[in-house]
Amino acid sequence: MSTVKNYLSLVKFAHTIFALPFALIGFVLGWRHQWLAHIEIDHIALKFVLVLVCMFTARSAAMAFNRYLDRHFDKLNPRTAIREIPAGIIKAEKALVFIILNAVIFMIATYFINSICFYLSPVALFVILFYSYTKRFTFLCHLVLGIGLSLAPIGAYLAVTGHFDILPLLFSFAVIFWVSGFDIIYALQDIEFDKSQSLYSMPSHWGLVRALKIASVLHIFSAAFVIVAYFIGGFHFLYLGGLIVFIGMLLYQHSLVKPNDLSKVNIAFMTANGIASIVFSIFVIASIFIQIYF
């Protein structure tokens, strides 16, 4: 049991609350599309389970790979030295096996969803694993992380419909800018360490004040995309309740983090964004089900 707990800690399982709710939005959007087009969805329950498997395995592979690749830096950083690999709780070799296993399960799951998901699975894996290298050569690493998590809504939509559409893409763009923004805020904690190790990030490159301003701009773009999605998607007005909470949490996290006070970064990162993602998805999914069944 302790081994399972260690691996869940390795991949920061609690952080699943960021991307998973948007994957559920994508899945239900696909459901609505098929319903409006009077197309019956084959094995909808099985597809839902497979989408969850893909979400957990892809994220686990990506997070564990990030920890594996950064293990030497993590050992030098007092904030991260307690992580499982540098602390010796999980051996690097076992973490690598864990990564490969999750990647294989992910691809197998996509095979049983549909052909387009299977053919695109190597691309998805490349994107989410490639992020781990980006901090070594570009301060745009936060955007790459955002792109990785943005695959959740469009991927889930593809699982149901088998084709791309503008609406799930709008949610994917919202995720890109939302995740990029809060990852910049999270990176503020390591600004001096990143400079000392020649690692790239917005805070280490642009400085603390400018990085916070960039995060604010990215979150404005994120809010804009979820607003546009409301008008293009023809949602029930219940969507607006989630929209208010989502934007409110964006504003709240920026009120918590100041250039001269980073003590509340973790609250801004975990609490505010967790609430934003979960509550927003509940309102959006509820508005879709109201349209379908009422």
Question: For residue 1, what pLDDT band results from cuts at 50, 70 and 90?
Answer: low
Burial of 40 (0-12, 13-18, 19+ CB in 10 A): exposed
Question: Whole-angstrom Cα distance, residue 212 to residue 264?
Answer: 14
Question: Whole-angstrom Cα distance, residue 181 to residue 175?
Answer: 10
- Asked if residues 2 and 59 have their Cβ atoms less than 8 Å apart, the reply is no
Report which of 251, 191, 248 is spatially closest to residue 215, judged by C-alpha positions: 251
- Asked if residues 55 and 128 have their Cβ atoms less than 8 Å apart, the reply is no
Provide the CATH number for the domain formed by 2-293 in this structure.
Answer: 1.10.357.140
Q: What is the pLDDT of residues 264-279, one digit of tens each?
A: 998 888 889 999 999 9
- Asked if residues 243 and 266 have their Cβ atoms less than 8 Å apart, the reply is no
Please state the pTM of the whole predicted model. 0.96
Question: Whole-angstrom Cα distance, residue 168 to residue 22?
Answer: 9
Between residues 127 and 267, the one the model is more confident about: 127
Assign 179 to helix, strand or coil. helix
pLDDT (mean) for 230-256: 96
Tell me the DSSP string of 252-284: HHHHH-BTTB-TTHHIIIIIIHHHHHHHHHHHH
Beta bridge partners, 45, equal none
Extents of the domains making up the chain: 2-293
Mean pLDDT of the chain: 95
- Report the pLDDT value the prediction gives residue 14, as an integer from 0 to 100: 84
Question: Whole-angstrom Cα distance, residue 96 to residue 101?
Answer: 9
Q: Is the pLDDT of residue 52 over 90?
A: yes
Q: What percent of the chain has pLDDT above 70?
A: 100
